[in-house]
Amino acid sequence: MAGGSGRRMKSALPKQFLLLEGRPLLMHTIERFSTFDSSIIIIVVLPSEHHQLWRRLCKEHAFEVNHRIVAGGEERFHSVKAGLDEVAQDLAGRRNRSDGAAGEGAMHDSTVGEGAGYDSAAGKGSKADGAAAGGSKADDLLIAIHDGVRPLVSHDTIWRCFADAEEFGNAVPFIEPADSVRVILGDDSRPWQRNEIRLIQTPQVFRGSVIMKAYRRNFNPAFTDDATVAEADGMKIHLTHGNRENLKITTPEDLAVAATLYGMISR
């Protein structure tokens, strides 16, 4: 998912295109998934008015990681739905070509920026060990939905999310808060046990048929992420460990922290 406007960054350039170590954030994010497993099918959902700029940036930076571009919607919900619709169309095309025959190979699809992704049931032994062949049915897929401005997601986090989603039907990464927590109650506040709080990250990974069904519902402002959409459809959410470096870059301070973390991780 890459639909940010850059408002909180106080920048005219959309935040997903701001530079980290000389390249747009979104390129780093895409590469985290492509280097995890080169068979992953990546769908990037961007506002239509940003498509030409993105293509120009890819050319300028000689960025050659294979991916598709899909036009996003008004809200994050609509952008994810657009990515899922692209997955559904791809599945329909595969069924028409092969009538569901096995042998097309494993598919991973991670919606980076604003979109969705899919993987035919990655196993737990390795990055995609035991992946089901074919992948022409939504039930065979694991769909990962990721924020395009989280370029420091670790391969371990990606692996845990796919592996746990295969076992439990979904996986949502989290970290535990380090600060004290207070809850606002009208004009007052009160402390809350931070061991009862989890800070949610992406990628959020789901079995394809389940998340596609969940996104058939109408938009609700209460949907803050994909887990809340799935939960509204009756799904029990399985939490798995994320990585603390996997911050969502939305402010200039976030970008400065990410630059420092990137240097530490690269050493």
Q: Over the stretch 56-89, which tens digit does the pLDDT of each residue have?
A: 999 999 999 999 999 999 999 999 999 999 999 9
Q: Mean per-residue pLDDT for 82-104?
A: 78
Residue 203: CA atoms inside 13 Å, Cβ hemisphere, count? 39
Q: How many residues can be counted in the chain?
A: 267
By C-alpha distance, which of 247, 267, 258, 248 is closest to 19?
258
Confidence grade of residue 121 (pLDDT, cut at 50, 70, 90)? very low
DSSP 3-state percent helix, strand, coil across the chain (nearest 5): 35, 20, 40
By C-alpha distance, which of 172, 47, 43, 180 is closest to 117?
43
Mean pLDDT of the chain: 86
pLDDT exceeds 70 at position 171: yes
What ranges do the domains of the chain cover?
Answer: 15-266
Domain made up of 15-266: CATH architecture: Alpha-Beta Complex (3.90)
CA angle 146, 149, 155 (to 5 degrees): 55
pLDDT of residue 257: 97
Q: Mean per-residue pLDDT for 201-229?
A: 97
pLDDT exceeds 60 at position 35: yes
Task: Identify the three-state secondary structure at position 208.
Answer: helix
Q: Mean per-residue pLDDT for 243-257?
A: 96
More confident residue, 256 or 99: 256
Q: Mean per-residue pLDDT for 76-103?
A: 83
pLDDT of residue 158: 98
For 19-31, write each residue's pLDDT tens digit. Answer: 999 999 999 999 9
- Total-model pTM: 0.86
| Percent of the chain clearing pLDDT 70 (strictly above) | 81
pLDDT exceeds 50 at position 188: yes
Q: Mean per-residue pLDDT for 239-245?
A: 98
More confident residue, 128 or 14: 14
Before 47, cis peptide (omega within 30)?
Answer: no
pLDDT of residue 12: 79
